[in-house]
Structures are given as C-alpha cells and as structure tokens.
C-alpha cells in the first residue's frame, strides 16, 4: 500500500499561481518518517521550543513559531527536516 501527502502553496487571494507538491511512499517508509518527524517537531534543534507543525515558508521568513529564529537556527531546523525526508526513502510527488 502506498500513502501520499500533498500540500499547496499560493492559494491565498492575489496569488498569480498555485503549486502542489507532496511525498509518496510505502507504509513502512511512512512509519519511519512519522516517528522522526514527530521527534523533530518536539525538538527542532537543541534548546528550541517544540513546533506544532513544520512550515518551510514560515521558517524562511522567521514568521509564526519561527519568530526569533536567527539564520543559524533556521538553517539547523531546515536541515533536520530535509534530512528526515531524504533518509525516509519517500519520493517527491509534484
């Protein structure tokens, strides 16, 4: 059985384009992914507060839960979440 996760961008009013991307993988890949993803949300990097969700855009801009993150913290968090995706073996679906 395969599982698919999709997310969108640009659905806000005034956006000239909409994009959709996602990840697809087996149940086994998703089980490993989910455990590591939840661990990263609980502790994105040493000394960081837990996150409710990962948002690449918010992290890039330093918005929302990422308010107060300096560039090194944004880079550490982004790398951690990217590494989880890469290590899990799920594939890009865009």
pLDDT at residue number 5: 85
pTM across the whole model: 0.83
pLDDT at residue number 62: 95
| Per-residue pLDDT tens digits of the chain, which is 94 residues long | 888 888 888 888 888 999 888 999 999 999 999 999 999 999 998 889 999 999 998 999 999 999 999 999 999 999 999 999 999 999 988 6
pLDDT at residue number 54: 94
What is the three-class DSSP state of 90?
A: coil
HEC profile for 6-75?
EEEECCCCCCCCCEEEEEEEEHHHHHHHHHHHHHHHHCCCCCCCCCCCCCHHHHHHCCHHHCCCCHHHHH
């Amino acid at each position: 059985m395969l599982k698919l996760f999709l997310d969108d961008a640009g659905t806000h009013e005034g956006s000239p384009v909409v994009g959709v991307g996602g990840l697809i993988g087996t149940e086994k890949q998703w089980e490993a992914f989910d455990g590591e993803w939840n661990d990263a949300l609980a502790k994105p990097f040493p000394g960081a507060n837990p996150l409710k969700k990962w948002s690449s855009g918010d992290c890039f801009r330093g918005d929302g839960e990422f308010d107060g993150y300096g560039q090194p913290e944004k880079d550490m968090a982004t790398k951690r979440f990217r590494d989880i995706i890469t290590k899990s073996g799920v594939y890009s679906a865009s």
